[in-house]
């Protein structure tokens, strides 16, 4: 289970590059990465910052987090609102540049990364995801044959603690997901969210509605939270879920449509876990088929996002999808959680 929050580095101009690189180096060292692995991180960050200076004069951002508990590696996400690329795959080739440089930056980032993904499109901007693991690429956790999970979790600007939270519990025939938003922000919101996460992990319930009732009883002395629980059953190809409060979500499919919307909204009950919940609430069930994407988020993300704005984004990593939505729809006035589960049937 990987529930680490991202550290956010805003780079409004190139004068912030040196300090940002030093701060990320310290983070990598605090994660107990080896000297060689820290060197890889330094190359990746240097090239990302150079690209931001070249192609995004209005600046950009980096998000950095530890991967796993215990820590297995580091994740670095870079995004900008620059012009975007018409042919991202070609730009990964050494010697190809639209800026007149040597054209080796993106290729260097990819070579130093154990996991790499790039999404870019004209008028959209660019998101780059890089992961470096301890020891070797072989130490990266094996992905499920049936689903892939990615997330962005960032505290409110100028806050240290994130009041959102999530949990992922892998089972032999599926996965349990929890997404939470502690009321408000800061340390008290984080305490409520963490207590709910601990309850969920220590007292697993096979039924999402029952899990929310257990969480409700456990966090009554806290500030309270809103939350969403889902179980994706990969044997039956079904998703069962239940939500309390304003945790928003949509199920998206890229299958060809003859009409209507590719989205199904996730409906939650009114209430606040730990304070007041309906006397009766129950689970909802939907099919879980190939090309499905479950996207759940706190109210730090604006709700009116639309994946059709981003050609072929659904083909990219779940983390990349979450990062693109965060880049374009974060309110920047609250903690933000975006949790994405992508079917791989």
String of DSSP letters for 21-83: HHHHHHHHHHTT--HHHHHHHHHHHHHHHHHHHHH-TT-EEEEEEEETTTT-EEEEEEEE-S-
Q: How far apart are CA 339 and CA 181, in angstroms?
A: 12
CATH 3.30.565.10 fits 7-139, yes or no: yes
What pLDDT was estimated at residue 93? 61
Q: How far apart are CA 24 and CA 42, in angstroms?
A: 8
Find all residues with CB under 8 Å of 96, minimum gap 6, and list them.
Answer: 90, 103
**Cβ contact 40:73 at 8 Å:** no
Find all residues with CB under 8 Å of 60, minimum gap 6, and list them.
Answer: 11, 52, 78, 79, 80, 81, 82
What pLDDT was estimated at residue 99? 45
3-class DSSP assignment, residue 309? helix
**Nearest residue to 163 (alpha-carbon basis) of 212, 245, 224, 218:** 224
Residues of the chain with CATH 3.30.565.10: 7-139
What would the two tokens of residue 197 be? 């996460």
* Angle 164-333-342 from CA coordinates, rounded to 5°: 45
What pLDDT was estimated at residue 26? 96
Q: Are strands 263-265 and 73-80 parallel, antiparallel or unpaired?
A: unpaired
Find all residues with CB under 8 Å of 249, minimum gap 6, and list them.
Answer: 179, 228, 243, 265, 266, 294, 295, 296, 297
Residues of the chain with CATH 3.60.40.10: 147-343
Residues of the chain with confidence (pLDDT) below 70: 1-2, 87-104, 136-144, 255-260, 345
What pLDDT was estimated at residue 150? 95
The model's pTM: 0.92
* DSSP letter (8 states) at residue 178: E
User: Can you count the helices (H) and strands (E) in the chain?
Assistant: 7, 15
What pLDDT was estimated at residue 173? 84
Q: At what angle do helices 208-218 and 187-202 cross, to 10 degrees?
A: 130
3-class DSSP assignment, residue 85? coil
* Angle 310-264-179 from CA coordinates, rounded to 5°: 85
**Cβ contact 179:340 at 8 Å:** no
**Nearest residue to 243 (alpha-carbon basis) of 225, 231, 229:** 229
**Cβ contact 44:62 at 8 Å:** no
Q: What rounded mean pLDDT belongs to the chain?
A: 88
What pLDDT was estimated at residue 81? 83
Question: Under CATH, to which class is 147-343 assigned?
Answer: alpha beta
């Amino acid at each position: 289970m990987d529930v680490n929050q991202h550290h956010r580095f805003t780079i409004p101009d190139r004068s912030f590059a040196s300090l940002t690189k030093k701060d990320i180096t310290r983070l990598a060292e605090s994660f107990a990465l080896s000297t060689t692995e820290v060197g890889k991180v330094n190359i990746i960050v240097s090239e990302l910052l150079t690209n931001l200076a070249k192609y995004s004069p209005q600046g950009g951002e980096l998000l950095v987090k530890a991967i796993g508990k215990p820590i297995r590696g580091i994740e670095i996400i870079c995004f900008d609102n620059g012009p975007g690329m018409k042919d991202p795959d070609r730009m990964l080739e050494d010697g190809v540049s639209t800026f007149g440089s040597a054209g080796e930056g993106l290729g260097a980032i990819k070579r130093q990364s154990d996991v790499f993904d790039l999404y870019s499109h004209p008028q959209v901007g660019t998101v780059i995801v890089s992961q470096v693991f301890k020891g070797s690429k072989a130490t990266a956790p094996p992905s499920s044959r049936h689903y892939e999970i990615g997330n962005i979790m960032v505290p409110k600007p100028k806050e240290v603690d994130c009041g959102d939270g999530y949990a992922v519990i892998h089972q032999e025939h599926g996965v349990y997901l929890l997404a939470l938003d502690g009321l408000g922000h800061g340390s008290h919101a984080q305490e409520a969210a963490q207590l709910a996460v601990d309850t969920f992990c220590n007292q697993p319930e096979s039924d999402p509605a029952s899990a929310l009732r257990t969480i409700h009883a456990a966090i009554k002395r806290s500030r309270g939270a809103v939350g969403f629980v889902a179980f994706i059953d990969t044997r039956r190809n079904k998703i069962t879920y239940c939500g309390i409060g304003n945790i928003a979500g949509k199920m998206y499919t890229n299958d060809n449509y003859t009409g209507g919307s590719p989205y199904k909204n996730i409906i939650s009950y009114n209430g606040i876990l730990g304070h007041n919940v309906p006397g009766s609430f129950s689970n909802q069930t939907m099919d879980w088929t190939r090309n499905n994407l479950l996207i759940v988020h706190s109210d730090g993300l604006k709700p009116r996002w639309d994946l059709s704005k981003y050609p072929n984004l659904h083909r990219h990593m779940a983390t990349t999808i979450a990062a693109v939505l965060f880049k374009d729809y974060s309110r920047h006035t609250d903690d933000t959680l975006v949790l994405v589960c992508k079917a791989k049937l």
